[in-house]
Structure 1
Amino acid sequence: MQPTNRLLRTLLPELRHLLFGLLLLSGLTAPFAWAQTPSPDTLHAQFNALREKGTGQLMDQSIYLRSTESADRMQGEVHALIDEPFEQVRQQLARAEQWCDVLILHINVKYCRAQRTAAGEELVSGVGRKFDQPLSEVHWVRFGFRVVTDRSDHLLAVLRSPTGPLGTHDYRMSVEAVPHANGQSLLRMTYSYGYGTAARWAMKTYLATLGRDKRGFSVVGKTAAGLPVTVDGVRGVVERNTLRYYLALQSHLMSHDKPGGDATRLSLQTWFDATERYAEQLREMDGPAYIAMKLKEVQRQETVAPPPPG
């Protein structure tokens, strides 16, 4: 075995752990200026333009996914029409504690607890790998939470964190919603993060090993036979996690009004079933294993206090 290959095999488990944190955190926070408040009409106009052009439409649903990449920043964005009344969306997404019910659905979120501090509300989150992990092995991140706009016709909620693993920084996740016709709601979810040299190196290593066969959703070309070629690389990573987080939001909104533990189990099953529609890009484990793991994690986050800041 060549020395380089031996070193890579030695580092790969730790790299995978840190990278999963990177991929997860890329969906969850913001630069230090809280989002500006746009007009509700802007969201309607953006959605109508996407629907007219079909830009980024997924599997004939009212879900549109886009991504952008620059030298030091990534962003993913979903626009969607959902079958949930706006007032229910507003009640759920304007409360920090409900966001933990959303985030824990993601396969790499191992813990989430909302709490109030002198600086405001925050979410204490532990992120890790796709199987059972003790909390001593997760990467802890504290996300600031703020509702920028909360009106009868417009909601804008933002999560943010200044730093993350491997030199990543300026995480932002924002969710905006407005009422639509026939008891539906329009929703726009964006996330972005900055990254430096260490994060770029980790991503290149991941894409050359664990992620070499994984792809995103945007069509960037065609094969000689005329079949679509979808984006890979860093944009593929961003698109997969963008959709995972959107499906977590959607699954929570569809399941939150069920009594007691039924809501938790239903939201887990709904999220897994939703990701299976995109199994080529999103599948990591089978349904029973995912639900069993997540039920343990939900129970743990309800009974174990988060670590103190530090």
Structure 2
Amino acid sequence: MKSFRWLAALAAASAFALPALPVHADAASLRARHADLRDELRNNNYQRALHIDSTESPNVLQGDVYAVLDHPFVKVSQALKEPAAWCDIMILPFNTKYCHAGGDQLQVRIGRKYNQPAEQAFKLSFGFRNQIVGKDYFETRLNAPEGPIGTRDYRITVSAIPLEAGKTFLHLSYSYGYGTVGRMAMQTYLSTAGASKVGFSMSKDANGQPVLTGGVRGAVERNAMRYYLAIDSYLETLDAPADQRNEKRIQSWFSATERYPKQLHEMDRSTYVTMKRQEYERQQTAMN
């Protein structure tokens, strides 16, 4: 039962990751990707300029989000180069119970269930590194070598380029590796509590009909979407008075997720807001 709960937590809201699979590592390739996705970014069902995809290999799950942000590139790159900013981002998804930045390290705690005390949640230690912070390309990475229930190599890459009209094209890539124990636990979760959950991209069923992607790919897509929405909520509140930012982020993230209730709804607003107010307060202090 404990392993089942941990995999549910991972499927719901664990962490970002830089995948072992290829990622776009320079401005030219990210511009090319933007050109490839131009029509889809303008015409989709997401209610915003967004593309989500996922990949499943024998030992790695990867989720990718490409999005046009309504924020200038300088604002995005300067904000996301700071470790403390990532804690303000990562705390927003409901199963993240704690995040504290110290130097180039982020200490994160992930709960098996949304109301688990932070002291009982699983610890993930992320190394933080800015790869490039330039005038036309930004890339930052996080990596945690170990996770719960046989999972490993949690990684993040977030890269971005400037667009016209003061906008930014962002790529968020998230992945983790797993072994036999992790695979079995995830299969158990997906055959029980996670059986009806779906992602965002379309695949085909046994009859060749289009359906929303489910299974482990659906889980990765849900997680990637939660964190993309957290980044966007963080950025859109930076211009608010400092003493109002946390509250605005909490409210903004919940409202954004409720646009996709089939995939992302987990609790009512009051429960979420009360919980996150407490967790924002707690993350100001280092835990052992």
Contact persistence 2:51–2:66 (CA under 8 A): yes
> CA deviation digits over 1:184-243, x for unaligned, max 9?
11100001111101110110111111111111111113798x984111111110111010
Is 1:230 paired with 2:209? no
Give the Cα–Cα distance (whole angstroms) in 2 for the partners of residues 51 and 247 of structure 1.
20
Change (3 A) 1:164 1:186: same
Identity %: 40
Contact 1:223 1:229 in 2 (8 A): no
* Alpha-carbon shift at residue 17 of structure 1 (Å): 3.5
- TM-align CA RMSD: 2.5
- The equivalent residue for 1:284 is 266
Q: Which residue of structure 1 aligns with residue 93 of structure 2?
A: 106
Answer whether contact 1:214 1:232 (CA < 8 A) is retained: yes
Q: CA deviation at 1:29?
A: 3.3
Question: Structure 2: where are the runs of 5+ without partners?
Answer: none
CA contact (8 A) 1:37 1:148 kept: no
> Given that residues 107 and 125 in structure 2 are in contact (C-alpha distance below 8 angstroms), is that contact kept between their aligned partners in structure 1?
yes
Note if contact 1:84-1:184 (Cα within 8 Å) is conserved in structure 2. yes
2:229 corresponds to 1:242 = no
Match of 2:143 among 140, 150, 160: 160
How far apart, in 1, do the equivalents of 2:19 and 2:37 lie? 26
State the TM-score, normalizing by the size of structure 1: 0.86
Partner of 1:172: 155
CA contact (8 A) 2:199 2:222 kept: yes
Q: Displacement, 1:27? A: 3.7
Q: Secondary structure at the match of 2:149?
A: helix
Determine if contact 1:30/1:158 at 8 Å carries over to the other structure: yes
Deviation at 1:123, TM superposition (A): 0.3
CA–CA distance in structure 2, aligned partners of residues 232 and 305 of structure 1: 37
Amino acid at match of 2:51: Y
Partner of residue 74 from structure 1, selected from 44, 61, 69: 61
Which of these residues, 258, 263, 272, is aligned with residue 240 of structure 2? 258
Q: What does residue 52 of structure 2 align with?
A: 65
C-alpha displacement at 1:15, in angstroms? 3.1
CA distance in structure 2 between the partners assigned to 1:216 and 1:55 by the alignment: 20
Q: CA deviation at 1:31?
A: 6.9
Map 1:22-61 to 2 at 5 A: 22-23=10-11, 27-30=15-18, 38-52=25-39, 57-61=44-48
Unaligned runs of 5+ in 1: 1-10
Give the C-alpha shift of residue 260 in structure 1: 2.6
Higher mean alpha-carbon deviation, 165-174 vs 256-265, is at 256-265
CA distance in 1, matches of 2:34, 2:44: 11
Are residue 140 (structure 1) and residue 127 (structure 2) matched? no
Query: Are the equivalent residues in 1 in contact too, given 2:8–2:189 (CA < 8 A)?
Result: no
From the CA coordinates, give the structure whose radius of gyration is larger: 1
Cα distance in 2 for residues equivalent to 1:129 and 1:115: 25
**2:254 alignment counterpart:** 272
Q: Spell out, residue by residue over 1:76-128, the C-alpha distance to the aligned partner (whole angstroms, 9 max, x if none).
A: 10111110011110111000011000000011110000002xxxx01000110
Give the aligned residue type for 2:287: P
Mapped contact 1:31–1:160 kept (Cα < 8 A): no
* Aligned 8 A contact 1:160 1:171 in 2: yes
Match of 1:5 in 2: none
- Partner of residue 82, structure 2: 95
Matches within 5 A, 1:169-248: 169-221=152-204, 228-248=210-230
1:56-76 deviations in whole A, cap 9, x for unaligned? Answer: 944242100010101111111
- Relative distance call for 1:57 and 1:189 in structure 2 (3 A) is farther
